[in-house]
A and B are shown apart, each in its own frame.
Chain A
Amino acid sequence: MFSRHLRLFLSTAALLLASWSAQAAQATVAVAANFAEPLRALAAVLEKTTGHRLEIVVGATGRLYAQIANGAPFDLFLAADQATVAKAESEGLTAPGSRFLYATGQLVLWSARPDLVDKQGQVLRQDGWRRLAVANPRTAPYGAAAMQTLAQLGLTQALAPRLVQGESIAQTYNFAHTGNAELAFVALSQVLEGGRLKSGSMWVVPAQYHEPIRQDAVLLKRGARNEAARALVKLMQSPAGQDLIRSFGYTF
């Protein structure tokens, strides 16, 4: 009698467990630092609606690529540019045909001080600040866009002695947030909260100053059949997902 109940209980539990694990998968997502916050918001939506869970690895696009090329166990790669993703594709690291544009980024000049940055970015030509932080242009596309902006403004030479580099856009923001650098070129997504500037002051860099920051995503070989990774891709391409991405200051 007792053992029959136990058997019934165990088989039901096993059945439930099996169906749950078939539904709720887990994926590891490598994401460029600028998109870390939006991805966390997307992951929360994904977990609530499907039960799928995401492990999130944040870094500079170049570093993440180097890790992927050396066998890092990632399922999905959200880069801050298109070139790096194209390179991963040509090296056969990705699931064929899975590449897509998931956002176009917006560069801003930001300061933790509420009165420092004006609406035209004239502060770059003035005194009253010591350090300007940019992400390493060799590895971070937002850093490359920042350097293009300085070149367009004709300030590359003049400001070179005041530049400091963060190894990713996250560290760059951190330098400005602690006030160690008064100014920083960062992603709009980092300084927005609920569609509004969190704190400090900023200049939204006009599009003509740099190449557009088109950001591609791609399923990696390992993630080709991963349910959670595929569900995230679907969410990011849905109108609701794109609205969420837009609310962080991105366009398409």
Chain B
Amino acid sequence: MLTPDDWQAIGLTLKVAATTTAILLVLGVPLAWWLATSRSVWRHPVGALVALPFVLPPSVLGFYVLVALGPNGPVGQWTQAMGWGLLTFSFSGLVVASVFYSLPFMVQPVLTAMQSLNPRALEAAATLRASPLDRFFTVVLPLCRPGLIAGVVMAFAHTVGEFGVVLMVGGNIPGVTRTVSVQIYDHVEALQYGDAHRLAALMLAFAFCVLLVLQLVQRRATGPRP
């Protein structure tokens, strides 16, 4: 039913989303903890910075990424000096852009969960002489599990659904930067509506399932415990 190109696009999209989500888990969870607990004057500007992709059009992010990662951009000059070459039109470049673009979708649910933690649980752990790191892993993270799951699911799904940024910095290379959303756009432009329909329906079903799972997770977290 789907063409080999379509399967390649699906495989690539999952790879980009999985890599992005893994990076976001490592970066986003400590960042959320810092935002939840810090009293630094920087926490509000940083919080606003993290939330920017919620409101910025993808064309703005795509434009800045294209210019910044390009040969004359600050990041581009740095990556070239490091001997990595340019990141535009590459898998790594796509992941870098996606990490920025999906950052708030990871941080926000985790942050909300952390802010609603009962401080008494942490105090109790502290009186039992658990170190701060110990408390973070044995108390904070387990109690924030619904928020973590929501963050992972949303970051993954949002990266899968990314379009504008990929279109602007990807260069539409099969197997490298041609993700499902770009492939659908390509089919539509070439008037291959049949091909477009099949992939689009798949995306629709995927998005629905993701949101359904999310609702179930959240219901289990907030509903009565067995």
| Contact A62 B190, beta carbon cutoff 8 Å | yes
A167 to B69, CA, bound (A): 20
6 smallest CB-CB distances across A and B, nearest first, come from: A164-B171, A165-B172, A179-B71, A138-B190, A180-B88, A139-B189
Write the chain B residue with the least CB distance to A59.
B189
| Distance in Å: Cβ of B14 to nearest Cβ of chain A | 22
A131 near B: Cβ within 8 Å? yes
Q: Enumerate chain B residues within 8 angstroms of A139, measured Cβ to Cβ.
A: 186, 189-190
A165 to B72, CA, bound (A): 21
* Chain B binding surface SS class: loop
| Contact B88 A167, beta carbon cutoff 8 Å | no
Write the chain B residue with the least CB distance to A140.
B189
B150 near A: Cβ within 8 Å? no
Q: Which residues from chain B sit less than 8 Å from chain A, CB to CB? A: 66-67, 69-72, 85-86, 88-89, 167, 171-173, 185-186, 188-191
- A63, A65, A180: which contacts B66 (Cβ < 8 A)? A180
A167 to B71, CA, bound (A): 21
Chain A interface residue bracket vs B:
20 to 34
Write the chain A residue with the least CB distance to B178.
A165
Beyond A164-B173, A165-B173, whether A136 also contacts B189 by CB under 8 A is yes
A220 to B153, CA, bound (A): 47
> A33-70 vs B: 1/0 string, CB under 8 Å?
00000000000000000000000000010110110010
Interface centre among A60, A62, A69, A179 (most CB of B within 10 A): A179
> A122-153 vs B: 1/0 string, CB under 8 Å?
00000000110100101100000000000000
Q: Enumerate chain B residues within 8 angstroms of A66, measured Cβ to Cβ.
A: 188-189, 191
Q: Which residues from chain A sit less than 8 Å from chain B, CB to CB? A: 60, 62-63, 65-66, 69, 130-131, 133, 136, 138-139, 163-167, 175, 178-181
- B89, B167, B188: which contacts A131 (Cβ < 8 A)? B89
| Distance in Å: Cβ of A182 to nearest Cβ of chain B | 8
Beyond A62-B189, A138-B186, A138-B189, whether A180 also contacts B173 by CB under 8 A is no
| Contact B189 A163, beta carbon cutoff 8 Å | no
| Contact A136 B66, beta carbon cutoff 8 Å | no
A140 to B69, CA, bound (A): 26
| Contact A136 B89, beta carbon cutoff 8 Å | no
Instruction: List 5 additional contacts besides A60-B189, A136-B186, A178-B67; criterion CB under 8 Å.
Output: A164-B172, A165-B173, A166-B172, A167-B172, A179-B71
A125 to B141, CA, bound (A): 56
Write the chain A residue with the least CB distance to B182.
A167
- A60, A166, A180: which contacts B70 (Cβ < 8 A)? A180
Interface centre among B66, B172, B185 (most CB of A within 10 A): B172
A3 to B82, CA, bound (A): 81
A130 to B90, CA, bound (A): 12
Q: Enumerate chain A residues within 8 angstroms of B189, measured Cβ to Cβ.
A: 60, 62-63, 66, 136, 138-139, 167
| Contact B190 A181, beta carbon cutoff 8 Å | no
Q: Enumerate chain A residues within 8 angstroms of B188, measured Cβ to Cβ.
A: 66
Interface centre among A139, A163, A167 (most CB of B within 10 A): A167
| Contact A165 B70, beta carbon cutoff 8 Å | no
24 contacts between A and B (CB under 8 A): A60-B189, A62-B189, A62-B191, A66-B188, A66-B191, A69-B191, A130-B86, A136-B172, A136-B189, A138-B186, A138-B189, A138-B190, A139-B189, A139-B190, A164-B171, A164-B173, A165-B171, A165-B173, A178-B66, A179-B71, A180-B66, A180-B88, A181-B89, A181-B171
| Distance in Å: Cβ of A228 to nearest Cβ of chain B | 28
Q: Enumerate chain B residues within 8 angstroms of A60, measured Cβ to Cβ.
A: 189
| Contact B171 A175, beta carbon cutoff 8 Å | yes
Q: Enumerate chain B residues within 8 angstroms of A136, measured Cβ to Cβ.
A: 172, 186, 189
Beyond A62-B191, A130-B86, whether A163 also contacts B173 by CB under 8 A is yes
| Contact A180 B89, beta carbon cutoff 8 Å | yes
Q: Enumerate chain A residues within 8 angstroms of B71, measured Cβ to Cβ.
A: 179-180
- A133, A164, A167: which contacts B167 (Cβ < 8 A)? A167
| Contact A166 B171, beta carbon cutoff 8 Å | yes
A248 to B186, CA, bound (A): 29
| Distance in Å: Cβ of B196 to nearest Cβ of chain A | 10
